[in-house]
Each structure stands twice: as structure tokens, then as C-alpha cells.
A = this chain, B = another copy of it.
Amino acid sequence: MSPAEKPAPAPAPKSRLSRELVLSAALALVDSEGLEALTMRRLGQELGRDPMSLYRYAENRAALLDGVSELVLNELEIVPDDPDWQAQLRRIAHCLRELALRHPNVVPLLVTRPLSTPLGLRPLGTLRPLEQILALLIDAGFGPADALHVYRAYYGYLYGHILNELQEFIVDPEENEALLRLGLHRLPPKEFPRLRALAPVLADYDGMSELDEGITILLTGLAARLSPTA
């Protein structure tokens, strides 16, 4: 690809800037160095441009963050006319999970930004999954209102699971267990007996199957309560 990848600033691939370029550079930066590394100056330097030029492509830093989370969400593929809605929802769930594991630093954005933007004003890319899942459910025979309920329960659980898993993940995958033990060891034994005892179990967390089981429970429960009138 490019002739030189250096740890120091990428000099200047002097082509015209574009929103996509800016956003994907931003994403790359967040992925590799975390959210707080994404400053205007730093991103500018990464692109070999003046920081101020970024404002051509995102009104704010906040808008830039929105752009990044939109970009990530676009990686999520949904097939809205799958006849087997349960299977499709399951697939989406795993897809989103993997996406979150691929971009852990973006997850805070995904869950936080919508809290500061009323639903109608969000970036379109952010709303697309909602629309598509609604389509999926309605096509499967649910009434619109029921579809919304299913969506909420489903997506709620999904996001919750991702947060859970990322919380327990975090650290260097190797020393995971050691560090965990160490950390737990710090807890006062009288107050946290069960948690401390669970160290070994905590250490090997199979997020994938845990998610799958949860989804199964939810879906069968939901399907029993509100069955599509197909």
C-alpha cells in the first residue's frame, strides 16, 4: 500500500480530503489509541492536514464522533426479508457482538451518543438498523406495535450483553486471568466472598454462547407472548 507506515505522523498523502477519508482515519485512530486520542489536532496530523480543515467535514467534534459511530454501525449487515426472523435476529446479534469486539473503543459512543440526541435527529446510519429490524418483524407477521416491543426487548438485551462482555474483557487477553485474580484479591474478603470465589469462572467467559443462550430465551419467550399472525 503506502510506501511507509511510521509510528511518527503519517506525512501527507496529499489528495483531496473527503468525509469518508476523515471518518475512517478517525475510526482508525480510535481503534488503535482510544477515544481520548481523537483530538482535532491529532487527527489533522494523522491526515497531514491542518486541524481546521476537518471542520469542512464535520461541524463539531461531537459530530465527528457521531460520524464514527455511524461508520461502525454501517458494518452491520441486516437482511430485512429473511423469512426466518428468529434466525436473522440471532445472526444480527452475533454480527453486532463481533463488531463491538472489533471496535471496543467505539462502544461507548454507540451507547452514549444516542442519549444526547433525540431519536428523530440522529444520523441516518444510526437509525437504519431500527428500520430494518422493524421491517423484518413486520414482514414476519407482527403488528407494528408488537414489532416495536420485540425490537426493544431484543436490542436492549443485545446492548446490555455487549456492555457486560466488554467490561469483563478489557484487559490484555493473556494475563486476563492473572490480573483478574489480582484485582479480586484486593476486595475485602468479608464483604465480597462470592465474587472472590468466582475468580476462575469469571476468567473464562464465553461471550458468544452466553449471548446466544440469552437471545434464545428472549426470542422464544417473546414468540410465545406475541406470535406473528402469519
Seen from chain A, the residues whose Cβ lies within 8 Å of a Cβ on chain B are: 104, 107-108, 111-112, 114-121, 124, 127-128, 130-131, 134-135, 138, 144-145, 147-149, 152-153, 155-161, 163-164, 166-168, 170-171, 179-188, 191-195, 197-198, 201-202, 210, 213-214, 217-218, 220-222, 225
Contact = CB atoms under 8 A, between A and B. Distances in A.
Nearest to A205: B152
A181 B225 CA distance: 29
Given A144-B194, A160-B161, A192-B127, A119 B182 contact: no
B112 A112 contact: yes
Main secondary structure of the interface of A (DSSP, over half): helix
- In the complex, the count of this chain's copies comes to 2
Given A131-B191, A187-B127, A218-B221, A161 B166 contact: no
Contact of A163 (B111, B138, B171): B111
B118 A108 contact: no
Contacts of A181: 120
Contacts of A187: 120, 124, 127
A132 B206 CA distance: 23
Contacts of A159: 159-160, 163-164
Nearest to A210: B152
A118 B170 contact: yes
Nearest to A149: B210
B166 A115 contact: yes
A183 B118 contact: yes
Contacts of A225: 213, 217
Of the candidates A112, A119, A155, the one having the most CB atoms from chain B within 10 angstroms of its own CB is: A119
A156 B167 contact: no
A118 B186 CA distance: 12
A120 B186 contact: yes
A183 B120 contact: yes
A194 B120 contact: no
